[in-house]
Amino acid sequence: MRVWNHLGAWVLAVVLCACGPGLSLNPDAGNGGTGGNPDTGVSPEEIPAPVVERSSELTYADPDGETLNLTVHGQGFVPGSIIHWEGQPLTTTYLSETRLTATFPSASFRYLVMNGAVQVFAPAPGGGLSERVYIPLPSPVISELVPGHIAADCEQTGEPISVRVLGKNFLRTSVVSFVGSLPLSTTFVSNQELTARLERSACYSASTHLLYVDTPSVWPRSSARVALEVRNPEPVIDDVWPRVISALEPGGADAGVDAGTPSEGNVLLSLWGTGLLHRGTGTEVRWNGARVSYIWNGDGSISVVLPPELVATSGQGELTLHNPPPGGGTSSPTRISIHSGPVVHELIPSSAELGGAGFTLEVSGERFDGASTVYWNGRARTTRLHPYGGRLLADIPAADLTLPGTARITVVGRDGKVSPPLGFLVSEERPAPVVRSLSSAVFSAGSGWRTLWVYGSGFHQDSRIRWNGEERVTTFVDSTTLRTSLSAADLQSAGVARITVVTPGPGGGTSLPLLLRIEPRLAVPVISSPGTMMAPSGTPEAEVSLVGYGFEPTSVILWNGETLPTWLTTYDTTSVQEARLSARVPASRLASPGTAEVHVLNPEPGGGLSDPVPFTILAPGEWGVPLSPASAEVGTQELYLDVNNLWSYSHITKDSVLQWGSEVLVPSRRDEGSFTVHLEKERLASVGKVEVRVFTPGVGLSAPRPFPIVPPRTPWLGTISPGVVSVGQWGETGSGALRVHGENFVGAHYSSQYRPPDTQVLWNGTARSMSLNSSGYDARIPVTAADVRTAGSVQVRLSKPSAVGETESLMALLHVTLERPVPLLQGLRPAGMPVGSPSFPLRVSGSGFHAASVVQWNDESLPTRLEGETLVATVPASVLAQPGEARVRVVTPEPGGGPSLPLVFQVYP
């Protein structure tokens, strides 16, 4: 028996090579390149010749495909084995008897078209060179899609649609495509992963797309096709309103739903859910298993239409949603109760103070008519239909508020049928006030006398505004609005004032503080309404009266750059903080025909000039026309210019046209004595003045009037709402919004394009985008949970770029406090349910809610979540097993917080 090791074998081989002719270690020697090894006495079974399997593969090793990884699978591999690629030996890594790897540049073999030859040489004894095996060149391979399918109608979610493509042999140039479509937007992650962004049309309806990866490279290749299925989601009913409806009995009054609005004799139910299909075959809505029609609403809900014959008798019905396959399914049913006779849905208000004054109770529901009567604890009250129908107004005298507790409110129809009752709470306590915002949120130092408006909820006749803890004389406007006067001394110096509202007991409390910023500088004034800016030449004198924002006691009116004697005639007469600034124009300025330019100037610090307003002085026999607006900001996307006949000097008829410079523009709209011209952005692209005249056949041309196209205006900030939020207001991941009311967000409010491309919000100095509502005066700023994670004050400004740099508004302050408000309840939806009803979501409306707030049912906490500014609690079926009333309140834990006053939920037979 011979015992060999690798070293002994190599020694013997060297000896034989030196002593015997015709022997070689050249691996290419012999037939077929198998080596011609001599008889060494070694059994061939001990070290067989290497074998390469066809499962061996080439893969890319870098994003650009410049390097290849070759993995060889086979048998008979030993340390020292060498991979040969196209006859060239490669630096080889031995992994096991069945696996070898090598890495090499792809540029050396770019002449290859389909595949390349692989051999493995194993050293003697035995071993030798394997047979050639041809390995395909790298092609992209898709092993998995994540997600493996997408939901139909996914474009309704508003989220980007992206799919991770996992596999191998992906390069930076790889592109994901659908068969028969243009390439998708593709992001290279690694040689094993791509991300494809799908167009929203891809999930228009249920279908199957074939997806592949194409790699334009040294060796262009495409992957096999992989199916990406678009499945219908499983529908879920989140909520239905109302849960109790009135039967449309033959001969009875039509029963509209949700404030009692009839829809051609049908019943309408508002349904909120997830997985509703807008496209393709659409989601089926079923009532007791039969398909019914529905209408899409703008808020994401649908209005389910129930024909009279389906709800003609009292009892119960079940709503379900159904989506067809692939995917799809049928939702769990939601039970709707049908009552014979009128039904009451909501009471506004839902509670009142013991010993309070009489009030008007608004009752919304169904099956109301002129003969319906509201009953208070079984006693009829003077009742009338709401002017807009579908609701009842009942006069509740002060005598009904002399006893604490719950009053039962019912409605009796002309046929004597009685609605199920709802509870109205007469409370011995007053609610704690909840503040929301100030108007204005910022004043300039030295502003003089001002009116401060405080907005919120739960205000009482005895509520008082406090300025830095000092109680001020307060005017009660209503439960949401208070106002007080600020003296010149209050606003003399720059700084910050803390504004709170206090309601004395019983109950009551103190609100969270709002922060009023007193700026050291003045705002740039804004003229919102210029008034009459026209007079005949030779007029003895005239008064210019301008209404706008940012007017101060030190503001002056300029006439062609010269100061006129100026005074404030009214100040802060409304909650929008407009002021009136007036000046007397002497006769000498009105002696000759022409045009004067009028500005308002605020002096330093800060301040500046308002936009110009032309004042037209008419020659004898001339006539003029007012334009609204009086100017436009350069770059305005479009403008609707109104020309009216309100003044006696105007002569506008149905045949009048506008002359814009040298162009004649035909009106886009005409009314009696006025018309509107649509100006495209090209006419508003440059700063300057355009001469505007009106031509009326038979009358002639009006006096010329310049229309200024001004540089970017400085935005003006008036109010932020909310002005105070609590740390963690929206939880760890939620979000809210800050509403900003102001001016000069966009180039013109007379436009159908309200998106402000240039105005932005500076949030503690960092720029943020905002969206504008359709009025053009209110902007919405998204606020995340991270923004209100730390107590302090947030500086809020508006900013807009101009030729001289950024123009900024005055600064307002958002107060972020650790303390939480006492919650205030205003309504329950629903406010009552029949005994034996299943579990349902109870929507609690009010103010002062926090992500930590919890709805309690007779002092037992319910699972609660915050949706926007509404709390939604899950009411279990177990608490609806017996008739009676439940006290519902909201409790917010410390710091601050506390329990709200309760409202009554009625479980009726």
How large is the average pLDDT for residues 307-332?
A: 93
Cα→Cα distances 184→63, 153, 219, 283, Å:
19, 19, 21, 29
Residue 391, CA atoms < 13 Å, CB-side half-sphere: 16
Whether residue 635 has pLDDT greater than 60: yes
Whether residue 77 has pLDDT greater than 90: yes
Residue located via tokens 């939020």: 725
Those residues whose C-beta lies under 8 Å from the C-beta of residue 123, and which sit 6 or more positions away, are 6, 10, 78, 80, 81
The confidence score (pLDDT) of residue 759 equals 80
Q: What is the DSSP letter of 712?
A: P
CB 704 within 8 A of CB 595: yes
The confidence score (pLDDT) of residue 681 equals 87
| pLDDT: which is higher, 29 or 507 | 507
Q: What is the DSSP letter of 161?
A: -
CB 306 within 8 A of CB 267: yes
pLDDT digits (tens, 9 = 90+) for 244-300: 999 987 655 443 443 334 445 789 999 999 988 887 678 999 999 999 999 998 777
Residue 502 and residue 511: Cα distance in Å, rounded? 6
DSSP assignments along 331-359, one per residue: PPPEEEEEESS-EEEEEESSEEETT---E
Those residues whose C-beta lies under 8 Å from the C-beta of residue 180, and which sit 6 or more positions away, are none
Residue 705 and residue 691: Cα distance in Å, rounded? 6
In what helix (H) or strand (E) does residue 708 lie, and over which residues does it extend? strand 705-710
Candidates 461, 460, 456, 510; CA nearest to 481 is 456
The confidence score (pLDDT) of residue 804 equals 57
Residue 232 and residue 252: Cα distance in Å, rounded? 41
pLDDT digits (tens, 9 = 90+) for 485-505: 999 999 999 999 999 999 999
Assigned token pair, 160:
């980007």
Whether residue 45 has pLDDT greater than 80: no
The confidence score (pLDDT) of residue 7 equals 35
In what helix (H) or strand (E) does residue 11 lie, and over which residues does it extend? helix 6-19
Candidates 344, 376, 346; CA nearest to 359 is 376
CB 495 within 8 A of CB 790: no
Cα→Cα distances 175→182, 193, 215, 230, Å:
10, 12, 6, 21
The confidence score (pLDDT) of residue 756 equals 52
pLDDT band at residue 411 under the 50/70/90 scheme: very high
Residue 657 and residue 694: Cα distance in Å, rounded? 6
Whether residue 15 has pLDDT greater than 50: no
Q: Which of 449-453, 548-552, 858-862 has the highest mean pLDDT?
A: 858-862
Residue located via tokens 């009048």: 656
pLDDT digits (tens, 9 = 90+) for 93-107: 999 999 999 999 988
Neighbours of 196 (CB within 10 A): 23
The confidence score (pLDDT) of residue 646 equals 59
Residue 221 and residue 165: Cα distance in Å, rounded? 16
Residue 450 and residue 440: Cα distance in Å, rounded? 10
Residue 647 and residue 628: Cα distance in Å, rounded? 13
Whether residue 235 has pLDDT greater than 90: yes
| pLDDT: which is higher, 745 or 18 | 745
The confidence score (pLDDT) of residue 251 equals 55
Which of 140-144, 567-571, 588-592 comes out lowest in average pLDDT?
A: 567-571
Whether residue 322 has pLDDT greater than 50: yes
Q: Percent of the chain beyond pLDDT 90? A: 68
Neighbours of 668 (CB within 10 A): 12
- φ, ψ for residue 6 (rounded to 5)? -65, -40
Where do the H-state alpha helices sit in 740-825? none
pLDDT digits (tens, 9 = 90+) for 686-703: 999 999 999 999 889 999
pLDDT band at residue 720 under the 50/70/90 scheme: very high
Whether residue 11 has pLDDT greater than 50: no
The confidence score (pLDDT) of residue 418 equals 96
How large is the average pLDDT for residues 714-720?
A: 91
Whether residue 42 has pLDDT greater than 50: no
Instruction: Assign 3-state DSSP to the chain and report helix, strand, coil percentages, each to 5.
Output: 5, 50, 45
How large is the average pLDDT for residues 406-423?
A: 95
Edge-first strand listing for the sheet containing 870-875:
824-829, 840-847, 870-875, 864-867
The confidence score (pLDDT) of residue 156 equals 62
Counting every residue written for the chain, the total comes to 909
Where do the H-state alpha helices sit in 396-492? none
DSSP, collapsed to helix, strand or coil, labels residue 809 as coil
Residue located via tokens 């609610």: 431
| pLDDT: which is higher, 358 or 14 | 358
CB 889 within 8 A of CB 878: no
What is the rounded end-to-end Cα distance, in angstroms, of the chain? 103
The confidence score (pLDDT) of residue 155 equals 63
Neighbours of 619 (CB within 10 A): 12
Which of 133-142, 170-179, 568-577 comes out lowest in average pLDDT?
A: 568-577
In what helix (H) or strand (E) does residue 222 lie, and over which residues does it extend? strand 221-222
- Would the pTM of this model clear 0.85, i.e. be above it? no
The confidence score (pLDDT) of residue 651 equals 83
Q: What is the mean pLDDT of the chain?
A: 87
How large is the average pLDDT for residues 777-781?
A: 84
Assigned token pair, 247:
């039967």
DSSP, collapsed to helix, strand or coil, labels residue 821 as coil
Those residues whose C-beta lies under 8 Å from the C-beta of residue 545, and which sit 6 or more positions away, are 531, 532, 569, 580, 581, 582
DSSP, collapsed to helix, strand or coil, labels residue 415 as coil
